[in-house]
Amino acid sequence: MPVVFFLLLVGEGSGVTHWLEKHLLSCPFKTFTGIDCPGCGLQRSFVALLKGDVWMSFKFYPATLPILALFIFTILHLKFDFKNGAFLIKGMYIFATVIIVTNYLYKIYHHQLF
């Protein structure tokens, strides 16, 4: 079963990655105004990550990896109950928030939005 899933992910021009690429949800803010919102790029970045392209993923949206790490760590923490897990989750959350805000300010400053 995991092998089948892996093949689905890897298949070029078909499979899960291709389907995701063709079915990205469009952000209502962006469709109305044409301006990126602070969350724009997350899906493109995630697809790039599924393709194995970490650098493109980082360029699309730098906060994807911290957010994914936060998700995985939260699931592990809820299952195994680490000693300082709650504190670490808080720290990672604040880290991800800072990256999101910095990324948006950077985009505004360098006129990548409009």
Partner 1 sequence: MSEEQEGQGPNSQPNQENSQNPQNPQWQQNPQGSQGFNRPNPNNPFPPYGGGFGGMQMALPNATIVLVLGILSIVTCCCFYGVVGLVLGIVALILSRKDKQNYLANMSYYTLSSYKNLNAGRVCAIIGLILSGIILLLCVLFAIFFGFSTLTDEEAIRQMLKELQ
**Residues contributing to the site for partner 1 (CB under 8 A):** 27-29, 32-35, 37-40, 42, 67, 70-71, 74, 77-78, 81, 85-87, 89-90, 93-94, 96-97, 100-101, 114
Complex with partner 1: residue 5 or 87, whichever CB lies closer: 87
94 vs 50: CA distance, rounded Å: 25
Q: Name the CA radius of gyration of the chain, rounded.
A: 16
Nearest distance from residue 3's CB to partner 1, in Å? 30
Degrees (nearest 5) of the Cα angle 48, 66, 88? 160
Complex with partner 1: residue 14 or 31, whichever CB lies closer: 31
**End-to-end Cα, the chain, rounded Å:** 45
Nearest distance from residue 53's CB to partner 1, in Å? 21
What b/e string do you get for 66-82 counting C-beta neighbours within 10 Å, with b at 16 or more? bbeebeeebeeeeeeee
Nearest distance from residue 54's CB to partner 1, in Å? 20
Nearest distance from residue 89's CB to partner 1, in Å? 5
